[in-house]
Every structure is written in C-alpha cells, then in structure tokens.
Structure 1
Amino acid sequence: MLVLLGLVVWGAVVYPDLPDEVPQHLGTDGVDSYAAKSVGSVFLPVFVYAGVLALMTGVTVFSLRMRPESELEPGARTSPFVNRPRTRAGVRLLARAQLFLACCIGLTMGLTCLVMWSTEKVDKSPGGGFELLTLAPTAVGVLALLGAVLRDRTADRSAR
C-alpha cells in the first residue's frame, strides 16, 4: 500500500509539469507510443498496479485461509487443482512471499514512471539496460515466491 500511495503522490506532484504528450510505451529503441496528457494516460501504471495489488491481496487472503496438508484429516478429499502448503508455517511463508511480489511489481511500475512522468519530452530509452533494470524488481519477487514454495517442499521431505 505504501508503494501505491507513493506512486499516487508522486504522480499528483509531477502532473501539472508534464508535457502535452506523455510516453505510453517504451520499446528497446526508445519511446514508440505517446498519448495526450490526461489523468487516464498519466496514471495508467498506478491504476494497473492498484488492480494487481487488489488481486494479489485477495490471493494472499485465500492462501492464509487454506488448510495445509498437515491439518487435513487422513483420507480427506482434496482438489487436484490446489497445491497446498505442507504446514501452517509454509502457509505464512507463502503469504509473505505473495505480498513481497506485489510490492516488487509496484517498484517495477515506479521505474516505468521514471520515463512516463519525465517533465521533458522523452524520445529514447534511458539506455544502460534500463528495460532489464525495470523488470528486475518483479524478477526478484518471483524468485522469492518460488523460493518460498521450494522451501515448503524441501522442509516436508527432510521431516520424513
């Protein structure tokens, strides 16, 4: 929520100083699409992140309500579509990793706003691997989530 709030405040502060056209897409060769300055075009990354954050929060709440395998009765029917964590500690670890991923996605959106919310007309990419740098926070969040899942799985094997 703090990342979302930061993006809203930052966008509100820079909005009056933005040019009449703002970048909408940054390709490998630089900005390849512009849009007229409007609340919708300027705050698009914020709206997208708000939706992602709501979705990720809902998934986290669902995850926390899930009963881990260790709490199921012997022979209980389970859905083959749900990959349950093994223990309650695994559930909490998964929930924290999901919220961390949501935060990392917000940081990725913030990095895209560096270009989109430039107060000067931007025609080219900042260079220096900026596109990869922009994706790095989300990649870190995905790795953390995968690590949480793998940790739960390996902890179960070592307990046997």
Structure 2
Amino acid sequence: MGNDGENRPDFPWVWLLPQLAVLAGLTVWGVAVYPSLPERVPQHIGPGGIDAWADKSVGAVFVPVLVYAGVIAVMALTSAAALRMRSEDELAPGERASSLINRPATRASALRGARATLQLGFCIGLSMAVTCAVMWRTEPDPHVPAWLLAAVLAPIALGLVPVLAVALRDRRESRESRK
C-alpha cells in the first residue's frame, strides 16, 4: 500500500512497463531505419492514403515516438491522480462531492481504473507501431494498405474494453454502496 499514511494503493509501475517497452522499441526501430529512409517521409495518412509529406529530419521521422511519449505521460499522470483522489466511500456522510470530478467508488476501484488506463496506453502504443510501419518504409512512395485504419483502431478498441468494464463496475459499486 501507499506510504502516505492513508493506505492508498501504490502506483502500478509494472503496468507502465509495457508502454515503456513499446516506446523503447519504437525508438530503436526509428534509429535503425532512419539512415535508409527517403528524403521525403510521410507526415499524415488520410482516408485516401498519404496526403502530407515532410523533408526527412529527426523531428519529422520521430513525431510518432514523441507523441507516444506524451501519451505515456498523460496516462501515467491520469492513473496517479486517480490513485491520489479520495474515493466515494472515503467522503464524510453528507459531504458533497463536486459533480466535475468522477470519483472512484473505492480505492480498489481506483487501482483497477489506473491499471486499465495504463493498459489502454499500451494499446495506443501498438497503434503507433502500426502507423510507423507505413511511415518508416524505405520506398519513396509507400503504398497504404486498405486495412491500415482497422489495424490502427483495433488495438485502441481492445484497450478501451477494460476501461469501460472498470467504469461500469465502479458505477455499479457506487450505486450499491448508496443503498
């Protein structure tokens, strides 16, 4: 448990490791492929294929890696905030909770939510890897497969399942505790 004297759950560092592994893998992959990339690299992939190009530079090539690093930071901070927040069962009788904050029903629920959020972050990383597979091809005009959108969205959809399951369970627990 946490060491803040309130018996809060510790941050689930083990659940952050898969995200860091994907980030490291993307970084190594990008460094390895960078020298063989063409002078113009895809910058945006739209419904009709690649619709924006950039001159090859470290910034242009590593945009997906930098965006994913930001995603990791947001997911980790969100998870940490959920674990620090007072849960509904910790509020004093009659204490009003702000309607602007969606509090977890219990500390156990906060931990489940933090883990699900970190798992979603990992799935977003898998989606970034699919995107990099197209952006980092060494042909000067890479073909964009028709299945790319589905391949990018599938890991995110899969990552949303535990988030939604935790939210529904938390909602049910919250209702039951008010009875």
TM-score class, shorter-chain normalisation, is over 0.9
Partner of 1:115: 134
Aligned residue in 1 for 2:167: 149
3-state DSSP of counterpart to 1:31: strand
> Which residues of structure 2 form unaligned runs of 5+?
1-19
CA RMSD of aligned residues (A): 1.5
Q: Flag structure 1 segments of 5+ consecutive residues without an equivalent.
A: none
What is the TM-score when the length of structure 2 is the normalising length? 0.83
Give the counterpart of 1:138 among 151, 156, 162: 156
Residue identity opposite 2:29 in structure 1:
W
| In structure 1, distance between residues paired with 2:142 and 2:50 | 5
Residue 82 of structure 2 contacts residue 104 of structure 2 at CA under 8 Å; is this kept in 1?
no
TM-score, normalisation: structure 1: 0.92
Write the letter of the residue equivalent to 1:150: L
CA distance in 2 between counterparts of 1:92 and 1:17 reads: 44
Q: Percent identity?
A: 51
Bigger relative contact order, structure 1 or 2, given CA contacts below 8 A and separation 6+? 1
Judged with a 3 Å threshold, the aligned counterparts in structure 2 of structure 1 residues 140 and 44 are, in CA distance, closer, same or farther, namely same
Shift in Å at residue 85 of structure 1? 1.1
Structure 2: distance between partners of 1:119 and 1:48? 22
2:127 counterpart of 1:96: no
Once residues 121 and 135 of structure 1 are traced to their aligned partners in structure 2, the CA distance between those partners, rounded to angstroms, is 25
For the 8 Å contact 1:63–1:91, the answer to whether it is kept is yes
Instruction: Describe how 1:53-92 pairs up with structure 2 within 5 A.
Output: 53-92=72-111
